[in-house]
């Protein structure tokens, strides 16, 4: 064991292969975080910084909330682990009740996973198995959407629409197709919420179904609001139209609400905000306030009932994970939902939207800013790439300038994305956007 004092502060070695990170760059200036509380992280050098990303779109109630911490502690000391294969624990049922009570009518059943990626892969399997059970076994194709992000499992990646994520891994699931992003920069740039026009962009689904026989399509998988692909609000009426087309052709609609769930849109789920109920909904992140890994698929009763009534005797859905409904995750989830309820955080997010929107769009004319998109408590800012430099270099410099000013934002290439905890205060919104304004003024 090396003596800590002998190791240079920034030498973290290379044993840890970080996800979605340039390990070589990270080693030059490792960003290490030591503690978190409320809206803030404490960095290894002692500085407190405002967390404008809710961790990674997940800590919706703010960090280290005592009721959640306490619930996890108690669970760990009471029932550290039990599988849910042919047994389970009361916490799983209590949490499922609370979770489904928040969901749109009909989404009455929850299947638990450990991440959003697993939730999406589970939903894809559920959709295909459902089609088989109703005598539609030819329906195996999946339709995703450009710029969609559905995690890194092979199923989710197959419906994802971000080329650089798909590029390196050989064949994905065969016979997937992708809808275009319903965003036309020529007429929609700098949107404040959902563009009023553009619902007809949903007809791209009808078009795809003239290429792919609808009788071969199992499900459409989309984020109601594109999240990590760049916060693209859907045109008004677009999601309703997608729902209608799916219904007309016997195709299941899956909403991936890993980001939009748990209050980001001012309602429990984006489904309620949009007034559109999917057949399956995938969740993760805010489900436990990020404190314990967990994901879920909410299934509509009409899907669940088919499994219960039409499958052969025995296991109705041959799928699951060792840690599905882990006792610590269920305890964290139950405590999280109670914090959301007690503090009215979903309504709070809705009430904050006008000031969030106004503060973000104050950047509309800033140097090198080519688009600002806001919806709910989300924002993406497109930054003009630096001519002749590596892609993402200006975005990274903007994020670094913000960190210097005490605000942690996320640079995704030359795009800055924001998704703060729903407890953010007005003065913290001002601090965040003035750090960004200063960064755009100063970063060349």
Ligand X SMILES: Cc1ncc(COP(=O)(O)O)c(C=O)c1O
| Residues lying near ligand X in the complex (CB under 6 A) | 115-117, 120, 149-151, 223, 227-228, 256, 258-259, 284
Closest CB to ligand X among residues 284, 328: 284
Closest CB to ligand X among residues 91, 155: 155
| 3 state SS of 362 | coil
Nearest-approach distance from CB 122 to ligand X, in angstroms: 11
Question: Measured between alpha carbons, how far is 28 from 414 in angstroms, rounded to an integer?
Answer: 20
Nearest-approach distance from CB 153 to ligand X, in angstroms: 8
Question: Measured between alpha carbons, how far is 290 from 298 in angstroms, rounded to an integer?
Answer: 18
The DSSP string of 231-295 is -BPPPTTHHHHHHHHHHHHT-EEEEE-TTTTTTTTSSSSHHHHHT---SEEEE-GGGGTTSS--E
| Three-point CA angle 113, 162, 320, nearest 5° | 15
Question: Measured between alpha carbons, how far is 101 from 87 in angstroms, rounded to an integer?
Answer: 23
| Cβ pair 415, 381 in contact under 8 A | yes
- How many helices, marked H, and strands, marked E, lie in the chain? 16, 15
Closest CB to ligand X among residues 89, 150: 150
Closest CB to ligand X among residues 169, 207: 169
Q: Which residue in the shown chain puts its C-beta closest to ligand X?
A: 116
Closest CA to 413 of 432, 398, 433, 402: 398
The DSSP string of 220-236 is EEE-SSB-TTT-BPPPT
Closest CB to ligand X among residues 120, 360: 120
Nearest-approach distance from CB 189 to ligand X, in angstroms: 23
Closest CB to ligand X among residues 256, 428: 256
Q: What is the CA radius of gyration of the chain?
A: 22
Nearest-approach distance from CB 118 to ligand X, in angstroms: 7
Closest CB to ligand X among residues 262, 440: 262
DSSP 390: P
The DSSP string of 76-94 is HHH------SS---HHHHH
Nearest-approach distance from CB 262 to ligand X, in angstroms: 12
């Amino acid at each position: 064991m090396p003596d800590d004092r002998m190791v240079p502060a920034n030498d973290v070695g290379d044993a840890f292969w970080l996800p979605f990170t340039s390990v070589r760059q990270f080693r030059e200036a490792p960003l290490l975080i030591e503690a978190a509380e409320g809206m803030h992280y404490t960095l290894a050098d002692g500085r407190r910084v405002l967390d404008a990303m809710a961790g990674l779109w997940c800590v919706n109630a703010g960090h280290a909330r005592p009721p959640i911490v306490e619930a996890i502690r108690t669970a760990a000391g009471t029932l550290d682990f039990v599988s849910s294969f042919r047994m389970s624990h009361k916490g799983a049922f209590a949490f499922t009740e609370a979770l489904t009570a928040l969901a749109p009518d009909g989404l009455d059943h929850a299947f638990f996973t450990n991440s959003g990626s697993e939730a999406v892969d589970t939903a894809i399997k559920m959709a295909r198995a459902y089609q088989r059970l109703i005598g539609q076994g030819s329906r195996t194709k999946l339709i995703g959407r450009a710029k969609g992000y559905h995690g890194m499992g092979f199923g989710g990646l197959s419906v994802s629409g971000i080329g650089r994520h798909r590029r390196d891994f050989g064949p994905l699931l065969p016979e997937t197709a992708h809808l275009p992003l319903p965003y036309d920069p020529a007429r929609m740039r700098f949107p404040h919420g959902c563009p009023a026009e553009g619902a007809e962009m949903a007809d791209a689904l009808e078009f795809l179904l003239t290429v792919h026989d609808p009788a071969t399509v199992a499900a459409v998988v989309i984020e109601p609001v594109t999240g990590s692909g760049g916060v693209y609000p859907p045109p008004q009426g677009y999601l309703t139209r997608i729902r209608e087309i799916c219904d007309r052709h016997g195709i299941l609609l899956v909403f991936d609400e890993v980001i939009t769930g748990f209050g980001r849109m001012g309602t429990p789920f984006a489904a309620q905000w949009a007034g559109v109920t999917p057949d399956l909904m995938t969740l993760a992140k805010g489900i436990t306030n990020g404190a314990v890994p967990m994901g879920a698929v909410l299934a509509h009763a009409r899907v669940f009932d088919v499994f219960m009534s039409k499958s052969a005797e025995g296991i109705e859905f041959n799928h699951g994970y060792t840690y599905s409904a882990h006792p610590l995750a269920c305890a964290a989830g139950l405590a999280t939902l109670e914090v959301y309820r007690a503090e009215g955080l979903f309504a709070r997010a809705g009430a904050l939207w006008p000031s969030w929107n106004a503060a973000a769009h104050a950047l509309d004319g800033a140097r090198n800013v080519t688009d600002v998109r806001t919806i709910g408590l989300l924002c993406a800012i497109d930054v003009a790439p630096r001519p002749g430099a590596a892609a993402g270099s200006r975005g990274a410099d903007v994020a670094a300038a913000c960190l210097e000013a005490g605000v942690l934002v996320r640079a995704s290439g030359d795009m800055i994305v924001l998704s703060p905890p729903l407890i953010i205060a007005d003065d913290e919104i001002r601090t965040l956007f003035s750090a960004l304004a200063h960064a755009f003024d100063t970063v060349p």
